[in-house]
Amino acid sequence: MLFLVALALFNGVLIGTSRTINGRLSTRKGAFRASVWNHVVGFVFLSAVLLVLRTWPDVTDTPIAAYAGGVFGALFVAVNSYVFPRLGAMSASVLVISGQVLSAVVIDCIQQGALPAPIRLAGVVLVLLGLTLPGLSARLRQREIHPCPTEKK
């Protein structure tokens, strides 16, 4: 079990590593070219894995729409590579995760035509609270400064 926990955590580290490296490349070559390289290199790597494992599923019944992930992925890597070096790995990761989990709740809501479970709503509130914390604290600090504008620092 401990091994599996470490494996899943390590997966998160790999995701961060991949996005950081793509971010570095984007500072030299631009975000769109970083996305091209990410996908070409990943494709070659996975092709090699497929060749070694020799697993080839039956793809005849697959609807074309199921391939839309490639389009979203190309856009995602470009956007993410652009913001990663600008915001830093920590802030960029936190913001991407926020957009990810909030949109997942909204999409589930629409698909099921029902409000999310209370535990998920509590999660949404916590994420939104986290995102507004910097703005809230800045406003509070401003209010502390404004009442006495004549005071010298």
Tell which one of 103, 139, 141, 145 touches another protein (CB under 8 A).
103
User: Which residue intervals of 62-117 are DSSP H helices?
Assistant: 69-87, 89-112
Spell out a b/e string for 124-143, using b for 16 or more CB atoms within 10 Å of the CB, else e.
Answer: eeebeeeeeeeeeeeeeeee
- Closest to another protein by CB, 143 vs 152, is 143
Question: Would you tell me how many other CB atoms lie within 10 Å of the CB of residue 96?
Answer: 18
Our finding on whether 90 is near another protein (CB under 8 A) is yes
Rounded to a whole number of angstroms, the minimum distance from the CB of residue 152 to another protein is: 27
Which of 17, 139, 141, 145 binds another protein (CB under 8 A)? It is 17
Which residue among 91, 115, 141, 145 contacts another protein (CB under 8 A)?
Answer: 91
Interface pick for another protein out of 2, 54, 87, 145 (rule CB under 8 A): 87
Site for another protein in 61-80 (CB under 8 A): 61-63, 65-80
Cβ–Cβ under 8 Å, residues 87 and 27: no
CB closer to another protein out of 142 and 150: 142
Residue with tokens 């991407």: 96
Helix (H) or strand (E) holding 5: helix 2-29
Distance CA 22, CA 139 (A): 35
Contact call for residue 57 and another protein (CB under 8 A) = yes
Residue 4 touching another protein (CB under 8 A) = yes
